[in-house]
């Protein structure tokens, strides 16, 4: 893993703030493996479970974010943008960032560079024509990316990724020639709502059909995570999905978390793009 | 609050801001047999599911009686015939019996005439037990076949509680009403447990009853806040037990403490929506996007 210039010490945040929070939501809707393998065509139950995210959960989530004056980053497969353009338009209007997450939540690791470029071109076109935005961020959908992905993303104007799990601070990916590439804003499965709350049968998730967690304990875990990142002055981002965490009763988990974040004054609440740009600027400063 | 089509729309009877339905899924072990046919020859393991007819159904009914609420029971036609006296008593106690198909068949694997015939047979068998009209259906197993809403209408049903996609009722193209259901409001994901065959397949620990109650209360509070339709789904063999009935009692008591929530049966909710809420399906409703998705695919193919 490429080491960032600041990795030996605590990151420095704008205005002397103690830590950074980049709340992030993956608005997958019904995209993903079942759409990719075609089984979703015959599975309306599963489709309706995924569609609940953009259709019903998202507006309530946006209301809650507005109530706490929080801005977030939404990684959205562009198939969802095409089918729920109005819903996604509100994400933009509410001042949140929109970023790449494939077109139908493709598994980039399994695709040739050419195919990856085609998907990125589709995504860019949909974002530009439907919403008038050109994203600068990317979160790899479903699993891993391939060795070429990080550098080919830069061809599309992507400046950061939020895909990796192995750090709790931003760092730079390296280009093939050794120069600095994308900023990475790593997230961790500890704050992926799938690990605590997602449950479905046919297709089964989790694989062993383990139980849905106690919402109160999930909130506690996530608050520990935020507080730990804040105490150490790190950069906290989340892997939340509206169809999972913005179901009616679970919005209360988010509300408890948001209230906790808001009770700390010196937190920099930023879009992932702002974090990446800050990281790039600080690096330039330290080099000159 | 742009973007949320339910805003500023009255979708419940006067004085009520949300609805709560207590439903019971009574499969009498057919659900387990469908996944693990060998259970038919394993009397010990099979009895995990047979507890419902033996003990659980009656215990649930006593609790409902104490609370004075009517509930909706979904039963396969063959279960209605097998447990005629038990289900007759359930019906006589003021609960609705609704259909869960005939014998846990997969309607997506049946030809249309067979599907239609079994749906009609199920209604007739259940009506013979309850003496009341059966208007609702819940898909037992398998996928929802294309245009199945029309098949259900043709078989005499008015509503279904099988799909997700929303938390307020919506209309299929045939005008069949859908009362959407959510897995986190079912007891089975939290409580099912069998050693061999393994249910659930990873044999995760049985959930804490306090945790389940807290989750369901959190959901109920939110459904009430958003004016949605809360549908609890219980199984006699899973929650009709001496220890878990506390959870049902506590939840029902909590739900009944709010006068602005319409606590009623699924058939009542369906009848009300069919009569007074003629809202058309919005273009980006999950059902319409699913239709668009299938059209897209047929173009590519």
Chain B residues with CB under 8 Å of A41 CB are 293-294, 297
pLDDT class for B298, splitting at 50, 70, 90?
A: confident
Confidence bin at A151 (pLDDT 50/70/90): very high
Q: Note whether B13 contacts A: Cβ–Cβ < 8 A.
A: no
Facing B218 at nearest CB: one of A52, A208, A249: A249
B231 in a structural domain: yes
Contacts of B238 (CB under 8 A, 6+ apart): B52, B56, B187, B188, B191, B192, B244
| B138 band by pLDDT with thresholds 50, 70 and 90 | very high
ipTM: 0.95
Q: Tens of pLDDT along A28-66?
A: 999 999 999 999 999 999 999 999 999 999 999 999 999
Query: Is A257 buried (19+), middle (13-18) or exposed (0-12) by CB count in 10 A?
Result: buried
Residue A220 at interface with chain B, using a CB cutoff of 8 Å: no
Which helix (H) or strand (E) segment is A180 a member of? strand A180-184
- Rounded CA-CA distance A54/B283 in Å is 13
Query: Would you state the structure tokens that stand for residue B184, as one six-digit string?
Result: 């986190």
Asked if A217 has any chain B CB less than 8 Å from its own CB, the reply is yes
Q: Could B286 and A52 be called an inter-chain contact, meaning their C-beta atoms sit closer than 8 Å?
A: yes
Residue B140, domain member (yes or no): yes
**Chain A, 149-168: which have a CB under 8 Å from a chain B CB?**
none
Q: Which pLDDT belongs to residue A7?
A: 53
Taking the CA of residue A47 and the nearest CA in chain B, the distance in Å comes to: 7
What is the C-alpha to C-alpha distance for residues A18 and B184, in angstroms, rounded to an integer? 38
Domain coverage including residue B249 = 18-300
Domains, chain A, with CATH or none:
17-287 (3.20.20.370)
B228 assigned to some structural domain: yes
| pLDDT recorded at residue B301 | 43
Tokens 């007739």, located at residue? B124
Gap between the terminal Cα atoms of chain B: 40
Is the CB of A213 inside 8 Å of chain B's CB atoms?
yes
**Which tokens in the block code for residue A123?**
């995504």
pLDDT band at residue B280 under the 50/70/90 scheme? confident
pLDDT for residue B286: 98
Interchain proximity A215–B214, CB inside 8 Å: yes
A211 contacts in B (CB within 8 Å)?
189-190, 204-207
Mutate which: B138, B164, B193, vs A, most A CBs within 10 A = B164
Do A59 and B1 count as a contact with CB atoms less than 8 A apart? Answer: yes
> Chains A, B: CB contacts under 8 A, how many?
146
A202: which chain B residues are within 8 Å (Cβ-Cβ)?
A: 143
The pLDDT tens digits of the residues spanning B71-95 come to 999 999 999 999 999 999 999 999 9
The span from the CA of A92 to the CA of A99, in Å, is 11
In the prediction, which pLDDT does B5 show? 46
Whether residue B264 is contained in a domain is answered as yes
What is the model's pLDDT at position B8? 46
Q: Chain A partners of B285 at a C-beta cutoff of 8 Å?
A: 55
Residues of chain A with pLDDT > 70: what percent?
97
pLDDT band at residue B199 under the 50/70/90 scheme: very high
Least confidently predicted of A140-144, B102-106, B143-147: A140-144
Task: Give the whole-angstrom CA distance, residue B11 versus residue A36.
Answer: 37
Please check whether residue A194 touches B, CB under 8 A.
no
Taking CB atoms and an 8 Å limit, are A208 and B203 in contact across chains?
Answer: yes
Does B235 fall in a domain?
Answer: yes
Cβ contact A47–B293 (<8 Å):
yes
First to last CA, chain A: 24
Q: Which two tokens stand for residue B63?
A: 């609790």
In a domain, residue B33? The reply is yes
The percent of residues above 90 in pLDDT, for chain B, comes to 93
Domain count, chain B: 1
pLDDT tens-digit series, residues B201-234: 999 999 999 999 999 999 999 999 999 999 999 9
CA distance A101 to chain B (A): 19
Where does the pLDDT of residue A280 fall: very low under 50, low under 70, confident under 90, or very high at 90 and above? very high
Using 50, 70 and 90 to split pLDDT, how confident is the model at B255?
A: very high
**What is the average pLDDT score of chain B?**
95
Distance CA B198, CA B215 (A): 25
Reported as a pLDDT band with limits 50, 70 and 90, residue B278 is confident
- Please indicate if any CB of chain B lies within 8 Å of the CB of A66: no
How far does B185 lie from chain A, in Å, by closest CA? 10
SS (H, E, C) A26-84: ECCCCCCHHHHCCHHHHCHHHHHHHHHHHHHHHHHHHHHHHHCCCCCEEEECHHHHHHC
Which of A45, A63, A90 shows the shortest C-beta gap to B164? A45
pLDDT tens for each residue of B155-178: 999 999 999 999 999 999 999 999
- In chain A, residues with a C-beta closer than 8 Å to the C-beta of B294 are 41
* CA pair distance B81, B77, nearest whole angstrom: 6
Q: Given this model, what pLDDT does residue A2 score?
A: 57
Flag whether residue B62 sits within 8 Å of chain A, measured between CB atoms: no
Contact call for A248 and B226, based on CB within 8 A? yes
CATH of the domain at B38: 3.20.20.370
Which two three-digit tokens encode residue B262? 């319409």
- Answer yes or no: are the C-beta atoms of A200 and B164 closer than 8 Å: no
- Residue B109 falls inside a structural domain: yes
* Residue A65 at interface with chain B, using a CB cutoff of 8 Å: no
CB < 8 Å to A84, chain B: 284, 289
Helix A58-67 to helix A251-262 angle, to the nearest 10 degrees? 20
Each residue of A182-212: pLDDT tens digit?
Answer: 999 999 999 999 999 999 999 999 999 999 9
Are A169 and A234 contacting, i.e. CB atoms less than 8 angstroms apart?
A: yes
- Whether residue A63 lies within 8 A of chain B, CB to CB, comes out as yes
Q: What is the DSSP letter of B165?
A: S
Checking if the pLDDT of A268 tops 50, the result is yes
Query: B112-130 and B84-92 helices cross at what angle (nearest 10)?
Result: 70
B139 with A45: Cβ contact below 8 A: yes
Query: Which residue is closest to A206 within chain B, CA to CA?
Result: B202
- Specify the residue for token string 């449950």: A199
Q: What does the pLDDT read at residue B229?
A: 98
Radius of gyration of chain B, Cα coordinates, nearest whole angstrom: 19
Chain A residue with CA closest to B288: the answer is A83
pLDDT digits (tens, 9 = 90+) for B19-65: 999 999 999 999 999 999 999 999 999 999 999 999 999 999 999 99
In this prediction, residue B4 carries a pLDDT of 46
Assign residue B293 a region (left: φ > 0; alpha: ψ between -120 and 50; beta: otherwise). alpha
Interface of A with B in 23-52 (CB under 8 A): 30, 35, 38, 40-45, 47-49, 51-52
């Amino acid at each position: 893993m490429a080491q960032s210039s600041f990795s030996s010490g605590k990151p420095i945040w704008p205005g002397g703030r103690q830590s950074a929070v980049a709340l992030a939501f993956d608005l997958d809707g019904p995209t993903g493996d079942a759409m990719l393998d075609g089984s979703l065509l015959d599975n309306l139950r599963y489709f309706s479970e995924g569609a609940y995210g953009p259709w019903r959960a998202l507006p309530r989530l946006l209301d809650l974010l507005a109530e706490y004056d929080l801005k977030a980053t939404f990684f959205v497969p562009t198939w969802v943008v095409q089918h729920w353009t109005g819903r996604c338009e509100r994400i933009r209007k509410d001042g949140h960032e929109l970023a790449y997450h494939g077109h139908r939540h493709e598994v980039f690791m399994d695709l040739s560079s050419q195919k990856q470029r085609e998907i990125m071109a589709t995504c860019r076109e949909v974002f530009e024509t439907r919403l008038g935005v050109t994203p600068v961020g990317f979160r790899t959908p479903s699993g891993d990316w391939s060795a070429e992905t990080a550098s080919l993303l830069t061809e599309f104007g992507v400046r950061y990724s939020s895909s990796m799990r192995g750090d709790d601070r931003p760092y730079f990916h390296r280009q093939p020639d050794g120069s600095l590439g994308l900023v990475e804003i790593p997230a961790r499965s500890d704050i992926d709502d799938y690990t605590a709350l997602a449950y479905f049968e046919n297709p089964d998730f989790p694989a062993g059909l383990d139980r849905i967690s106690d919402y109160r304990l999930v909130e506690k875990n996530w608050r520990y995570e935020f507080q730990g990142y804040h105490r150490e002055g790190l950069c906290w981002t989340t892997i939340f999905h509206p169809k999972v965490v913005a179901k009616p009763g679970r919005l209360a988990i988010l509300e408890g978390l948001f209230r906790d974040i808001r009770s700390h004054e010196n937190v920099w609440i930023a879009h992932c793009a702002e974090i990446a740009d800050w990281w790039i600027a600080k690096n330039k400063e330290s080099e000159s | 609050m742009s973007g949320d089509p339910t805003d500023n729309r009255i979708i419940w009877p006067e004085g009520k801001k949300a609805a709560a339905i207590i439903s019971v899924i009574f499969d009498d072990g057919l659900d387990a047999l469908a996944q693990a046919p060998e259970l038919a020859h394993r009397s010990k393991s099979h009895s995990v599911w047979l507890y419902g007819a033996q003990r659980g159904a009656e215990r649930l009914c006593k609790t409902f009686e104490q609370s004075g609420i009517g509930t909706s029971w979904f039963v396969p036609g063959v279960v209605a015939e097998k447990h005629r006296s038990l289900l007759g008593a359930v019906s006589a106690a003021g609960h609705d019996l609704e259909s869960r198909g005939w014998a846990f068949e997969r309607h997506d694997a049946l030809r249309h005439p067979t599907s239609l015939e079994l749906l009609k047979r199920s209604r007739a068998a259940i009506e013979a037990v309850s003496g009341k009209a059966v208007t609702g259906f819940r898909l037992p197993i398998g996928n929802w076949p294309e245009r199945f809403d029309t098949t259900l209408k043709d078989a005499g049903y008015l509503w279904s509680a099988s799909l997700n996609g929303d938390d307020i009722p919506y209309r299929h193209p045939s005008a069949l009403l859908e009362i959407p259901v959510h897995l986190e409001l079912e007891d089975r994901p939290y409580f099912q447990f069998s050693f061999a065959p393994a249910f659930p397949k990873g044999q995760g620990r049985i959930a804490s009853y306090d945790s389940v109650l807290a989750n369901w209360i959190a959901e109920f509070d939110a459904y009430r806040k958003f004016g949605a339709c809360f549908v609890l789904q219980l199984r006699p063999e899973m929650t009709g037990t001496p220890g878990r009935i506390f959870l049902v009692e506590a939840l029902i008591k909590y739900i009944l403490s709010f006068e602005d929530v319409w606590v009623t049966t699924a058939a009542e909710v369906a009848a009300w929506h069919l009569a007074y809420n003629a809202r058309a399906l919005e273009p980006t409703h999950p059902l319409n996007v699913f239709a668009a998705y299938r059209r897209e695919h047929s173009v590519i193919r």
